[in-house]
């Protein structure tokens, strides 16, 4: 039993996000997540609970299964310092195309 618990803890630690992207130890910078799957975007943004999602189809759909969605647009732009900024991702289902 002890080995299973230890292995589980080690597996979770391996999945823990690394520190935020920094330029010269300055504030965290917004990564480029447009075009990625939503799970990958969440990882790049260190699973930020303040992250806002907006349905790219304008239908007000809620994301229940992030693996089924992709990012079409992001705010702020990549490289922008994230100090006190709210992050919004415009998402659509994987089988849908992003509107220009």
Going from N- to C-terminal start, the domains of the chain cover 24-93
For residue 1, pLDDT beyond 90: no
* CA 25/CA 62 separation, integer angstroms: 36
Q: What's residue 33's pLDDT? A: 97
CB hemisphere CA count around 80 (13 angstroms) = 14
Give mean pLDDT, residues 66-72: 97
Q: What's residue 24's pLDDT? A: 54
pLDDT tens, position by position, 8-62: 444 444 555 554 444 456 678 999 999 999 999 999 999 988 899 999 999 999 9
Q: What share of the chain is helix, strand, coil (3-state, %, to 5)?
A: 25, 20, 55
Q: What's residue 83's pLDDT? A: 83
Give mean pLDDT, residues 74-95: 93
Give mean pLDDT, residues 66-79: 96
């Amino acid at each position: 039993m002890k080995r299973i618990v230890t292995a589980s803890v080690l597996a979770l630690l391996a999945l823990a996000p690394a520190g935020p992207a920094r330029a010269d130890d300055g504030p965290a910078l917004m990564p480029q997540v447009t075009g990625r799957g939503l799970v990958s975007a969440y990882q790049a943004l260190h699973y930020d609970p303040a992250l806002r999602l907006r349905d790219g189809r304008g239908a007000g759909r809620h994301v229940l299964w992030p693996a089924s969605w992709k990012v079409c647009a992001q705010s702020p732009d990549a490289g922008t310092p994230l100090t006190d900024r709210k992050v919004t991702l415009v998402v659509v289902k994987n089988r849908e195309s992003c509107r220009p």
